[in-house]
């Protein structure tokens, strides 16, 4: 079973948590937010654990949804993929095209799934 975490549980992240918590093929292992009250609230709502620093979630997950501010997408996604984690990033992927290209290269080299959440 895929252990998945949602990093950033503002509006979009909490929607991801809601949906993931209902999919039988995955286990919503944790939700992450620097706002402890927000993380606690969403974790309680979806019967998972709150984490307040995304790096503390790495050992708990196989994949992640990154729904943080765009300025953090590159750093978080790159480190997750370098540690073998599959990643879905809310749009936009990154602030700079060069960063997006680097993430795509990183995913290819590691054999990792990198997706962009896009309606």
Residue length, the chain? 119
Q: What is the pLDDT of residue 57?
A: 98
**Rounded mean pLDDT of 9-17?**
97
**Structural domain range at position 70:** 2-117
CATH number of the domain encompassing residue 91: 3.40.50.720
Q: 41 preceded by cis ω (within 30°)?
A: no
pLDDT tens digits, 91-115: 999 999 999 999 999 999 999 999 9
Strand partners, 116: 89
Q: What are the tokens at 110?
A: 């590691």
Q: How many domains would you assign to the chain?
A: 1
Q: What are the tokens at 27?
A: 């286990």
Confidence of residue 16 (pLDDT cuts 50, 70, 90): very high
pLDDT tens digits, 56-84: 999 999 999 999 999 999 999 999 999 99
């Amino acid at each position: 079973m895929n252990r998945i975490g949602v990093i950033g549980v503002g509006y979009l992240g909490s929607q991801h948590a809601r949906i993931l918590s209902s999919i039988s093929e995955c286990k919503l292992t944790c939700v992450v937010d620097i706002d402890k009250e927000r993380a606690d609230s969403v974790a309680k709502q979806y019967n998972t654990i709150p984490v307040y620093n995304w790096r503390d979630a790495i050992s708990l997950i196989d994949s992640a949804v990154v729904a943080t501010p765009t300025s953090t997408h590159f750093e978080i996604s790159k480190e997750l993929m370098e540690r073998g984690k599959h990643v879905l990033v809310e749009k936009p992927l990154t602030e700079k095209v060069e960063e997006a290209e680097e993430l795509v290269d990183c995913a290819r080299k590691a054999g990792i799934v990198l997706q962009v959440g896009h309606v």
